[in-house]
Amino acid sequence: MYDVNAVRAQFPVFQRKVNGKPLVYLDSTATSQKPLAVIEAMDEFYLRYNSNVHRGIHTLSEEATAAYEGARERIARFINARSSREVIYTRNTTEAINLVAYAWGRANLKPGDAVLITEMEHHSNIVPWQILRDLVDIELRVVPVTDDGYLDMEALDRLLDERVKLVSITHMSNVLGTINPVEEIARKAHAVGALILVDGAQSVPHLPVDVQALDIDFLAFSGHKMCGPTGIGVLWGREEILEAMPPFMGGGDMIRRVTLERSTWADLPHKFEAGTPAIAEAIGLGAAVDFLSSLGMANVRQHEIEITAYALEALSEVPRLRLFGPRNPHHKGGVMAFTLGAVHAHDVAAVLDREGIAVRAGHHCAQPLMQRYGVVATTRASFYLYTTFEEVDCLVEALHKVEEVFA
């Protein structure tokens, strides 16, 4: 049995109060809270063996390198990569997608080629391709979203032809919560000779993700959304594709040999990791992966399905509330983006904060999706492995107070 209270006990932040009330943290889509195991792993690095990696033969450097590379190996197992050589450390999902756009895109795309994205993408999976379009004169195609928050798969089939060289798609929408059929889309992409990049910023923290079973080519995700620290993310790619790509950045640690005339590159994964890395953060991400693995990602997903189903029913009782995205909890992550009558999203969030409830308000880095649904902003409550049914009740009760304030 999944004991959410035992899980919550491992997160120090839940001991605090906000505005005199117990903290109800419903902003995990933006960033998750951190368990004590992650905090302690990073503290131990700084307290006991702080040193640079890959460069020293002294004890501290060897210990730091072992912890840093050990984390990479555990991350590889977590997503079922064939090898830790396929796991590239980045700062976050955004940098990982930019790495593909810059290194793979500039080397492989030519005028007239197309990249296919969707209307529900985060800006991180739109802007890099727009920049590349303007540099290389490629075409950027967009799959529309239906009224109920799903991808229009018929439109995808029409847009996906042999001119498309890459499909870049979110696995789980950070606004709608929609879980897209990545395995099916990967099969369709490969049938026309295209690669597929998956934005896993929301999916990797919330459900089992197996890169081999999905049969994808790239996966990008961030540590801070999966109980890890900020400043560390991952690009996973098929080894043969990464081997053929030029470096993203040049500098120390990504080279084999440098002369004043030319340089040669280090082996994977270090070819893409220039300069001193985020060592403590990588160690923290390794600890986060250990924590999630100990819970079991299938258990994390099942808990979220139950919380989402409960919230969908509870929120339906709030007058004037318009909820965006699928209504089937099996097709949706724990993301509830909504408007409340004519009350601005920021005002809703401010009243909720007075009740100790943390939510997000704004366009959620998804302005094209806001335009699709004819809104400027939404309020977003998001759930995770530590969310309780009682916290959903607190949200609903507080939304009724918002109605009273702005009646």
| 247: helix, strand or coil | coil
Cα-based distances in Å from 58 to 46, 47, 50, 407 = 16, 17, 12, 67
246 DSSP assignment: P
23: exposed, middle or buried (Cβ count in 10 Å: 0-12, 13-18, 19+): middle
Residue 20 φ/ψ region, left for φ over 0, alpha for ψ in the -120 to 50 degree band, beta for the rest = left
Q: Catalytic residue numbers?
A: 365
Q: Identify the DSSP state of 343.
A: B
With left for phi above 0 and alpha for psi between -120 and 50, is residue 362 left, alpha or beta?
left
List, in order, residues 6 or more apart from 401 with CB less than 8 Å away: 351, 355
Neighbouring C-alpha atoms within 13 Å toward the C-beta of 333 = 31
Angle between helices 279-295 and 59-78 (to 10 degrees): 40
- The H or E element that residue 47 is part of is helix 36-48
Distance CA 142, CA 185 (A): 14
Coil, helix or strand at residue 118: strand
Beta-bridge partners for 221: 234
Angle made by CA atoms 277, 237, 331, in degrees to the nearest 5: 110
How many C-beta atoms lie closer than 10 Å to residue 215's C-beta?
15
Give bridge partners of residue 168 from the DSSP assignment.
197
Tokens of 166: 């890459």
The angle, 0 to 180 degrees and rounded to 10, between the axes of the packed helices 297-315 and 279-295 is 80
d(CA 273, CA 285): 16
Q: In one letter, which amino acid is 81? A: A
